[in-house]
Amino acid sequence: MSTTSLLASAAPTQERVLVIYTGGTIGMQPNVKGLAPGGGFQDRMADALGQLPILHQHALPAYDVLSYASLIDSSAATPLTWQQIANDIAANLANYRGFVVIHGTDTLSWTASSLAYQLQGIDRPVVLTGSMHPLETANSDAIGNLYGALRFAANIELQEVAIYFSNRLLRGSRAIKQHAESLDAFISPSYPCIGERVGEDFIYYPSRGLGFQQRGAPRFELSDYQVVSDGAVIRLALWPGIAPWQLEALLGDSRVKGALLQLWGAGNIPNDPAIIDVIANASGEGKLLAAISQCPQGSIHMGEYAAGHGLTEAGLLSGDNMTPEAAFTKLVHLLAQPLPTDDRRQRFLTSLVGER
């Protein structure tokens, strides 16, 4: 890892923002196999921001850049990646006013959700961003996203993990990537944006933020994700014709400690008691099982329809209107905690970081 500074004499460390560069499209450069994460990002970033109008440059906070030695495409991220980023933020908390995490877009919202759980109660901004096109590409969205992320990372009112992308600031535990190509790739389907760029202004809405909703000192939960890094939590979307033996093959595996099931509509499953039995048996073994809808918007209400009757009694926890990213990473986080099963279940049903 390497560190560098912009405007090195402009501000003491405590007034700076720390930029953590993990890789992703934003820093990619072409090679014989196609685009791959490129190095020297701190200088490339400084050159790009130096092309902004002078007034914009003067509005930037001073910052340092921490570049990971092993840069990745975000499709290669794992729970251990999430843990490393959280640990680096926690280790530098006293030295910086805010943080920007530069990350690939494919799993950016997964990392944001995980960081929100690990950094519960954080009293300063953590803003994730990336881009759909590399930094040096003509008319790239990278410069605008970097600029906005840095501006919001310097806002002391923002006290949570967020994503800045295409002029909008979204709660990290509420965002999803909804388009594979559009510059406006991220949305927050069940919660309004917590900030946005309007012309030259970067407007934060305190009444929508965790700083307003959850007062108090940081209470970080930096657990060892090694125990859930080998596939201990799975995700399964139901399909028409799913058979009990297929569900049993996954939930019955002794290596599985938790599972996120994506049901139909408001929480429906096939009318087959054997499927309920599979879920009940897995839950009875102490596995943490939760459900959300396959629909991108709306909540599940298990038992509202006959097709969902018995799921709650079988031990399946309602994910309400949580995103797949927020629900899955919450299962990972809770299973990494040294908690009794009943406590894990109760905490899943509790809003920890405004995720539900």
Residues 6+ apart with CB under 8 A from 116: 160, 161, 171, 172, 173, 326, 352, 353, 355
Mean pLDDT of the chain: 93
Give the pLDDT confidence score for residue 10 in this predicted structure.
Answer: 56
pTM, two decimals, is 0.93
What is the set of active-site residues? 25, 105
Q: Which residues are annotated as a binding site for substrate?
A: 74, 105-106
Give the pLDDT confidence score for residue 215 in this predicted structure.
Answer: 64
Residue pLDDT, tens place only, 201-231: 999 999 999 987 776 667 899 999 999 999 9
Distances (CA, A) of 266 to 234, 243, 263, 283: 21, 21, 8, 21
**Token pair belonging to 208:** 């929508």
Q: Which of 55, 39, 6, 52 is nearest to 147 (CA)?
A: 52
Give the pLDDT confidence score for residue 9 in this predicted structure.
Answer: 46
Residues 6+ apart with CB under 8 A from 310: 273, 276, 303
Residue pLDDT, tens place only, 22-32: 999 999 988 76
State which residues of the chain have pLDDT below 70: 1-13, 32, 215-217, 306-308
Q: Which residues are annotated as a binding site?
A: 74, 105-106
Partnered with residue 19 across adjacent β-strands are: 65, 100
Distance between CA atoms of residues 220 and 199, nearest Å: 36
Distance between CA atoms of residues 197 and 177, nearest Å: 19
Cβ contact 118:53 at 8 Å: no
Give the pLDDT confidence score for residue 8 in this predicted structure.
Answer: 45
Per residue in 149-158, is it b (16+ CB within 10 Å) or e — as a string? bbbbbbbeeb
Cβ contact 63:5 at 8 Å: yes
Cβ contact 188:321 at 8 Å: no
Give the pLDDT confidence score for residue 35 in this predicted structure.
Answer: 81
Give the pLDDT confidence score for residue 216 in this predicted structure.
Answer: 63
Distance between CA atoms of residues 304 and 283, nearest Å: 21
Give the pLDDT confidence score for residue 6 in this predicted structure.
Answer: 47
Backbone φ/ψ region at 16: left (φ over 0), alpha (ψ -120 to 50), beta: beta
Give the pLDDT confidence score for residue 5 in this predicted structure.
Answer: 44
Cβ contact 105:130 at 8 Å: yes
